[in-house]
Structure 1
């Protein structure tokens, strides 16, 4: 690779890191304010959590639309629209006069946010070749974890000094500046071939991915994975502040476990030659179950250990299932199967994230722990069902 190609690759890599950071900072930034919304808008924890749930819900459906539109409009155009649009909408959140308008803005923001994660991997695959692609992809994925941490820590730090309105404005302004930097770093697609949008082909691909019954077990596992993870970090701030007396800034720093949780994903990669996906997914579910249970112990170091173990289990869980979807789907339905997996993945965070709030309102932190444990048990059941399904398919194939 010559100097020019290396410079281009570095610019794209840095650009995708920034884009990933902006996307997930804007998506998860308000998670820090859930406790404050309960006070300022006089509502329950489950109602306040809608500020995150509604964005992940519209993001999930938006990804299906954005991926199709990008085939006509172009990859970079969609990504720029996503980053700039979501940053503007994030700033507007701070000016919302009531919670209903705030939720409306967040719903629009979730749809706008969908453009970047729906297109990013496709753009990298088209523009980079050889070992450039996996290296840049790894940086992009790292950016998603770092973005969530960045959004929460900036919000928490400003929140301790002022109020959530100012914290929203500060983070929104920072992500807007980063979005503008992205425009100058990432070049327009050079290997992109525009295609005429066809609703018939789009619907046909989705139907093909739905007809493959074994994939529904994976969609269910994705639904449970992010649902458990978001429920944990939506409400853990309540007991950390109430029971352990931590400041908002210190609570913000617990999201560093999202960065450390990538250890789980890396471990899966290293052990993939020694153990089957099913074995590693079982271990991931066990890790998540142990981590969840430890947060019920009224001793801060044990709670923090539980958060770390759950994070490792979650990243491994998501890594394994998302890869399993891609390898199990028929060739014609691979892209649509991955999109549907992400659809259920993000809907899970909306549904279980909100239900967790209902359990917190009625039973406190132990109620949230209970619903997360039930989700893990359901995960074991789905894993058993998919194993039975795959064995049945293999048996018929050998007859």
Structure 2
């Protein structure tokens, strides 16, 4: 049972059930979303498109997901958190299976865009669910576990996508990812407890723009929204184009070898949970900027000529990014006193907008400056993210809250 008036506490059976269900949701969503990322060079060759155009298989999904978040999150206020997330998981899994049989590039991109729409029912709603249902001392760990499951899903999608493509082709790879997503949707449906601290209610749609704009009147939330854009924009650009760099001489990696690098995503699972927990103990404002400095150091390492140092740089950047995202995302839930689903949706709108816009823009830097051009672009984004984090470090907290 939920603790009286306190929410779900760490170590209870309901905490474990909730963690399992949301881990399945995060795993499925990110596996479906990012399975195409190591396949961008494959798409460029198979369909005769440029690296920037091939990135649309990811950028369209994240772009449509970003816009849909602003609509789907309010729907969860009406129909409930769990039902919206359940429909989202099943729909995105089915669309991934459909993508595997699309005959041409345009139809494939159309299905990927629709999958982005379908996926929108999980990210912001899951954040709102945790903010409502968790005990205050458990939310940092719970959010860290959610972000960690995202990294596991991203790892599985990328690793399986690359390895299966090498041996059986990209269509088989997409089909396998779709089947895994279906299994995760079933696990979610069976495991997640229904909301006990939230009651669905009609939402006046005409009031939604006002409630969203209300979050921008807060002294801290707009900075957290900007942080989402900058952090994710840099991170997805790294993973979009590092593959093109490492497929070229002198590295000349195979797609399976390239996919193996995505095992680094396991570091994201560990860092998001550990840094999220540390933020709960020592304060978000003391932890966020340090995580971004770590990510910047990782980008610098990717400029080395040694493959070992490049891989180490990807690892360090991954640790820093997931730690920073875990802190920033949980901060939104604590900072927003009302309409948390909308606050979470705006954060994730900016998050995926950064993925879509910066992830595609990185193709211009790669075409004109190679990997050093891309690394410089990412460093600029993370430099701005560090400035925002330092601004947040001196933000006056809300009465009675660390945020």
Q: Which of 58, 62, 69 pairs up with 1:52?
A: 58
The aligned counterpart of 2:321 is 314
Decide which moves more: 292-301 or 58-67: 58-67
Q: CA RMSD in A?
A: 3.0
DSSP 3-state at the match of 1:115: coil
Alignment of 1:105-124 (within 5 A): 105-124=111-130
Does residue 83 (structure 1) correspond to residue 57 (structure 2)? The answer is no
145-154 or 90-99, larger mean C-alpha shift? 90-99
Q: Deviations over 1:39-89 (max 9, x none)?
A: 112111111111111111111222222221122223332122111100111
State whether structure 2 residue 260 is matched by structure 1 residue 253: yes
Q: Does residue 161 of structure 2 align to residue 159 of structure 1?
A: no
Q: How does 1:272-283 map to 2 (within 5 A)?
A: 277-283=284-290
223-232 vs 150-159, greater mean Cα deviation: 150-159
Q: 1:168 offset after TM fit, Å?
A: 0.8
TM-score (norm 1): 0.87
What SS class does the counterpart of residue 236 from structure 1 fall into? Answer: helix
Structure 1 residue 319, shift from structure 2 partner: 2.8
Distance between the aligned counterparts of 1:165 and 1:133, measured in 2?
A: 39
What are the residue-to-residue correspondences of 1:283-322 with 2, within 5 Å? 283-322=290-329
Match of 2:208 in 1: 202
The corresponding residue for 1:397 is: none
Distance 1:152 1:130, change over 3 A: same
Give the conservation status (yes or no) of the 8 Å contact 1:24–1:148: yes
In structure 2, the CA distance between the partners of 1:63 and 1:182, relative to structure 1 (3 Å rule), is same
**Aligned mates of 2:270, 2:382 — CA distance in 1:** 20
Distance 1:222 1:128, change over 3 A: closer
Residue 337, structure 1, aligned to residue 343, structure 2: yes
Q: Deviations over 1:108-159 (max 9, x none)?
A: 1111101122222444566676988776555433211111111111111211
Name which of 67, 71, 79 aligns with 1:61: 67
TM-score by length of 2: 0.86
Indicate how the Cα distance of structure 1 residues 300 and 50 shifts in structure 2: closer, same or farther if over 3 A, else same.
Answer: same
Q: Which segments of 5 or more consecutive residues in structure 2 lack a partner in the other structure?
A: 3-10, 399-403
Report the more deviating stretch, 17-26 or 138-147. Answer: 138-147
- The structure whose Rg is larger is 1
Matches of 2:289 and 2:138 in 1, distance apart?
32
Task: Return the alpha-carbon distance in structure 2 between the equivalents of residues 150 and 303 of structure 1.
Answer: 21
Greater shift after overlay, 198-207 or 180-189? 180-189
Which structure shows the bigger proportion of residues in helix conformation? 1
What does 1:12-23 align with in structure 2 at a 5 Å threshold?
12-23=18-29
Cα gap change, 1:177/1:324 in structure 2, threshold over 3 Å: closer, same or farther?
closer
> What secondary structure is seen at the aligned counterpart in 2 of 1:254?
helix
